Chains A and B, each alone.
Chain A
């Protein structure tokens, strides 16, 4: 595990806490709320979706089994397993739970064909929510996010304004988690701020 003291979130340079103090007053009327949700532990998990031993082994450690239906998320008690591909998932956990989760997965899945890697530092999470959040995404993302084809508990990888993004819809308001690579985070943030301005944007703290 990397040194944890003195770590900075991907958007630390933007002074978002101060922006949030100024702007949350209007959060109730804002069409869109945006905030960084840093420090989520993330694991890249690979394994055979046809293997019962793999699926139940993961479930016994994390409390959630890797979903085998494409573009779905299984989540329980702060742990989520996002489908990335037929044999690939992103596991998200509360901060600092990753070392123990990796050790237990390696112990429980020993002998099976699998891989688990800590990728917590690769991406940060941008929280985008509010009645106009979908309109904002539609400006830069070709995914069909209409409720008839996308909704809570669904995830998809795509591009947002040419930036690779993993999108996870949390609820029907709608609220989304946007996983973006750390080096693209400031670009994505500024693009979202610009795209959301016309709808009334409130910056919110995590």
Chain B
């Protein structure tokens, strides 16, 4: 069980949260300009990183806010937490 630090509510049990997949996936500005391969890339392809992974979580049982987490996919250690719109901290850039 993970102890996740909500940027507003502080440390809470993993059960209170929902998982939202990889963070910082930007929707193409003009989807009609994309061919199928590029659209498929946006929809389905993820980095699947071993190590520090930037991902979205939502505090469903608490303040209902979405935020970002940097989690080590090997050890599950949470390296950093930051709000939507904030730049990822250095821990999340490792391995880029």
| Closest A residue by C-beta to B11 | A144
B19 within 8 A of A: no
Residues of chain B at interface, number, CB under 8 A: 13
Residues of chain A at interface, number, CB under 8 A: 14
Q: How far, in whole Å, are A156 and B10 apart by their CA atoms in the complex?
A: 11
Q: A71-B9, A158-B16, A159-B15 are in contact. Are A164 and B63 (CB under 8 A)?
A: no
Whether the pair B65, A86 counts as a contact (CB closer than 8 A) is yes
Which of A71, A157, A159 has the most B CB atoms < 10 Å from its CB?
A: A157
Whether the pair B9, A164 counts as a contact (CB closer than 8 A) is no
Chain B contacts with A in 1-35, Cβ cutoff 8 A: 8-13, 15-16
Q: A142-B13, A159-B16 are in contact. Are A85 and B61 (CB under 8 A)?
A: no
Whether the pair B9, A142 counts as a contact (CB closer than 8 A) is no
Q: How far is the CB of A117 from chain B (nearest CB, A)?
A: 15
Q: Which residues of A contact B64 (CB under 8 A)?
A: 84-85, 88
Whether the pair B12, A86 counts as a contact (CB closer than 8 A) is no
B62 within 8 A of A: yes
Q: A86-B8, A142-B13 are in contact. Are A159 and B63 (CB under 8 A)?
A: no
Whether the pair A85, B16 counts as a contact (CB closer than 8 A) is no
Q: How far, in whole Å, are A85 and B66 apart by their CA atoms in the complex?
A: 11
Binary contact track A145-161/B, C-beta < 8 Å → 1, others 0:
00000000000111100
Q: Which residues of A contact B10 (CB under 8 A)?
A: 70-71
Chain A contacts with B in 84-133, Cβ cutoff 8 A: 84-86, 88
Whether the pair A70, B61 counts as a contact (CB closer than 8 A) is no
Q: A85-B65, A157-B62 are in contact. Are A70 and B12 (CB under 8 A)?
A: no
Q: How far, in whole Å, are A159 and B18 apart by their CA atoms in the complex?
A: 14
Q: A85-B64, A156-B62 are in contact. Are A70 and B9 (CB under 8 A)?
A: yes
Whether the pair A84, B63 counts as a contact (CB closer than 8 A) is yes
Whether the pair A157, B15 counts as a contact (CB closer than 8 A) is no
Q: Which residues of B contact A164 (CB under 8 A)?
A: 61
Whether the pair B8, A157 counts as a contact (CB closer than 8 A) is no
B interface residues with partner A (beta carbon < 8 Å): 8-13, 15-16, 61-65
A-B contact pairs, 15 of them (CB 8 A): A70-B10, A70-B63, A71-B9, A84-B64, A85-B64, A86-B63, A86-B65, A143-B12, A144-B11, A157-B61, A158-B12, A158-B61, A159-B15, A159-B61, A164-B61
